[in-house]
Amino acid sequence: MKAHLRDESHTNALGVSLARALLPGLSIHLHGDLGAGKTALTRALLHAAGHAGTVKSPTYTLSEPYRVTLDGQPVDVIHYDLYRMGSPEEFLDTGFREDFDGHNICIVEWPEKAEGVLPPPDLRVTLSVAGDGRDVELQAFSALGLSCLQRLHFPQIL
């Protein structure tokens, strides 16, 4: 599934659509260069999922947990930014791998940094600069990811 995000309002709209399509246990990998909009998308998603506070890029902490309610059930959404991770082993040492337990929703910026130790995604989102806007591609890699994509109603989809 591909779309063009003309400006940041489209990125936010995709975040809202994704928030509505979330399912417990979902693991989402966000690919794209610095400034592609990975954090912006995650921020919009978390706010739409009901998180009222700020959403900072977890640049130094590498991970930041949020608690949201999905269909009346509390679910932890954990946002990672692995850009500054020194080696894939660090992902294991920090205990991050245990977060991927089939219940938490894990959203990972810079999954490349934990290659080999990061569980495979249910959904891959690839953002790239295109003119003044961004192109986005969403790909499912599991039944759960496919369910999420089927639940996704995003008006800008090409």
Provide the binding-site residues for Mg ion, judged by CB under 5 A. 38-39, 57, 109
CB of 30 to ligand ADP, least distance (A): 7
Amino acid making up residue 60? Y
Which of ligand ADP, Mg ion, none lies near 40, with the C-beta cut-off 5 to 8 A by kind? ligand ADP
Q: How far is CA 82 from the centre of its chain?
A: 12
| Helix 38-48 with 8-21: angle, nearest 10 deg | 50
Residues of span 75-134 touching ligand ADP by CB under 6 A = 109, 132-134
d(CA 3, CA 139): 12
Tell me which of 1, 2, 7, 67 binds ligand ADP, using CB under 6 A: 7
d(CA 67, CA 69): 7
Contact flag: residue 62 with ligand ADP (CB under 6 A): no
Three-state DSSP at 155 gives coil
Tell me which of 17, 31, 37, 105 binds ligand ADP, using CB under 6 A: 37
User: Which residue's C-beta sits nearest to Mg ion?
Assistant: 39
CB of 14 to ligand ADP, least distance (A): 9
First and final C-alpha spacing in the chain: 8
Q: How many CB atoms lie within 10 A of CB 60?
A: 8
Q: Which residues bind ligand ADP (CB under 6 A)?
A: 5, 7-8, 10-11, 32, 34-40, 109, 132-134
